[in-house]
Structures are given as structure tokens and as C-alpha cells.
Amino acid sequence: MMQQNDPKEPAFWGQLLMVGLPGPRMDAQARELVRDLKVGGVILFARNIEAPEQVWELCRDLQKEAMAASGVPLLISVDQEGGPVQRLKAPFIIIPQARDLGISATPEEVEDLSRRVARELALVGINMNLAPVLDVPRSPACPLWRRAYSSDPERAARYALAAIRGYAAGGVFPVAKHFPGLGDTMADSHEVLPRALSEDAKREADLLPFRLAAAAGVPAVMTAHLLVPKWDDRPATLSAAALQDWLRRRLKFQGVIITDDLEMGAIASQLPVDRAGREALGAGADLLLICNNYDAVWDTARRLAGDASLLPRAQEAAVRIRSLRERIHLPSHGLQEVTKYFRQAAE
């Protein structure tokens, strides 16, 4: 069931948003997003992280506000892939880049490492890791080369599935990204809209890891800001062909579809964030990611509230998101346990 708010009000739609926060502590802006807008999730960046104890306190405060506002825990996420993309630095586990793990480690070792990483995230109150990367890069010219396990689809899938199992066993939700695969691109979606170069309309090499992850029950998939000309003339994040036909119908994925950041250049160069959010939800995305701009978050909620045609799609998305949020186990330990763990880890 959706929260009992007026669908003409932005707070009805906040549960469909995952947002960035301004700083490392609960401040007026963060409180407004969680208490008043009732966002479904937050994403933490370096600006939100000082020390394990501080992250625990921030997550505790966020969950208190979320429980008071909606009665259901908040999704608290982070990009903790490894290599160049890991927001939590020492004393947290430092994760090698996926490319190196795919060469020098076994899937079993990746699963064990992912489990240990997840336990640290869960210890400080983070319940979702926006990882692993399932892309299958063709060459070092692909921006995902270092962040992906392998250029061989089957090998990439084995390692990604191992990471998914490890994160789940360690107590956090894994997120498979970036559907439908950025491996056949040469441009960085943070800056411009990449174009898929493969002539294979079925994208078999790129979709194999996602197909297996969906079959294994991965709880969430993140979209790619990627143009696949064989499918559509719209980026996958905004494409019903990509999200509803391919991901839902053909790959039979039943979990939460999360967009990549709608402020990235690939999307923001074409559409304002609020309009992109409306298009993504209409195309089949469930949770809309807006990482930086506080005003854009509210603008998006207001635009969604002003479009009655989105209500059936919003109700469908909200059921998936709430189901996932209801599976969150809030930490029962105190700050002393966090301090003790990281002190021992440093010895």
C-alpha cells in the first residue's frame, strides 16, 4: 500500500525518490527531505562521510525520522564498488578494482570479500550497496573497463553473481548495474549520452549477466543512461522498450528498477531533472535517483504530483519499493560496537 498522503501533494511521490544529502549530519535540509517529503531512500557520498561512528549516527538519525514519518525504514545506499568507486575509505575495507579481482581472485574469494564489505556497511547502518557492476566492456577505451570484472560475459556474470550473493549474505541489498550494459560504449554517461555500438539487437553479451542476476533474485537493478538504437530513440533510463519490454518481460526481473543519477550529463544535457524524472517513471523506473540538487528533488516531486496519468505507474512502483524497505533490519547495536569493531580492525 502507498502511504496515505494526497496524491496531489509532493509527499505522496517522495517515496519514489532516492536523494543525496548536503552534509555529514542530520540538518534542516535532510530532515525536510525525510520527514516532509518522505523520500524512499538516500545516497551517501564523500561529503556525508567522516568516520564510522559519524556514519552510524547519521544513519540512526535518518531512520528515526523515516520511521516517524512513514513507519517504514529508509533505504540508505552508497557506491562501494571498489577501486576508483568506493565512498567509504579506511578504516573500512579497501576493495580492489573489479578488473583486478576478475583476474587475480576466484568467485569464491569475491563472494567472501563482498560479504565482509556488506557486514561493515550494515554495521554503520547502510543497507544498500549500488554494486556490483555487470557491464561487459569490450576494450580499455570503455569507461567501465576498470569497474567491470571481465570482458567475457560468462566470467563477468560468475563474478557479479558471487558479489551479489556476498552482499546479500552480509546484510545489504545489492544493486546490479548498469542495465542494459555500457560495455559497448566509448563515451562517459557522466558527461554525454553514450551510444551502443553493438549491432546485436538482442545484446546477448551485455544482457547475460543481467539475465542470470534476475533469475538469481537480485533485489534491484540500476539503469544506464544509454542509447540503444536497435531498441529505441530514447536513453534506456527513459525507455519503456528497455525497462518494460526487455528488463521486465524478457528478462523477467521482478525487483526495484533504480535510475542512475538523473543529474548526469547524459540526461541533464537533454532534459531538466524534474522532466527526466517524469519520463523515467512513465517508462517503468521505480526509484528516481537525484544525487545533488535539493531544489531539483522538490521540483521533481511537484511535477509528478501534477500529472494524474502517472498514478497507476506510481502505485506499482511504490509497492515494490515498500516491499524492499520492509525487509530492512534496523541495527540493534550501539555506537560502542562500531567503535570496538573498527579499533580491532585497525590493530
Does residue 91 have a cis peptide bond before it, meaning omega lies within 30 degrees of 0?
yes
Tens of pLDDT, residues 26-81: 999 999 999 999 999 999 999 999 999 999 999 999 999 999 999 999 999 999 99
**C-alpha dihedral sign at 87, 289, 225, 47:** negative
The verdict on whether 79 is a catalytic residue reads no
The verdict on whether 333 is a catalytic residue reads no
**C-alpha dihedral sign at 189, 131, 277, 62:** negative
CA pair distance 20, 41, nearest whole angstrom: 9
Q: What is the DSSP string of 207-244?
A: HHHHHHHHHTT-SEEEE---B-TTT-SSBGGG-HIIII
Catalytic residue among 260, 261, 286, 299, which?
260
Tens of pLDDT, residues 133-192: 999 999 999 999 999 999 999 999 999 999 999 999 999 999 999 999 999 999 999 999
pTM over 0.95: yes
Which class in CATH covers the domain with range 18-340? alpha beta
Question: What ranges do the domains of the chain cover?
Answer: 18-340
Tens of pLDDT, residues 1-20: 334 578 889 999 999 999 99
pLDDT average, residue stretch 71-94: 97
Tens of pLDDT, residues 249-293: 999 999 999 999 999 999 999 999 999 999 999 999 999 999 999
Catalytic residue among 27, 152, 190, 200, which?
190
Residue corresponding to grid cell 543512461:
225
The pLDDT score that the predictor gives to residue 4 is: 52
Helix (H/G/I), strand (E/B), else coil: 254: coil
Neighbours of 118 (CB within 10 A): 25
Tens of pLDDT, residues 295-347: 999 999 999 999 999 999 999 999 999 999 999 999 999 999 999 999 998 77
Q: Please, are residues 84 and 59 in contact by the beta-carbon 8 Å criterion?
A: no
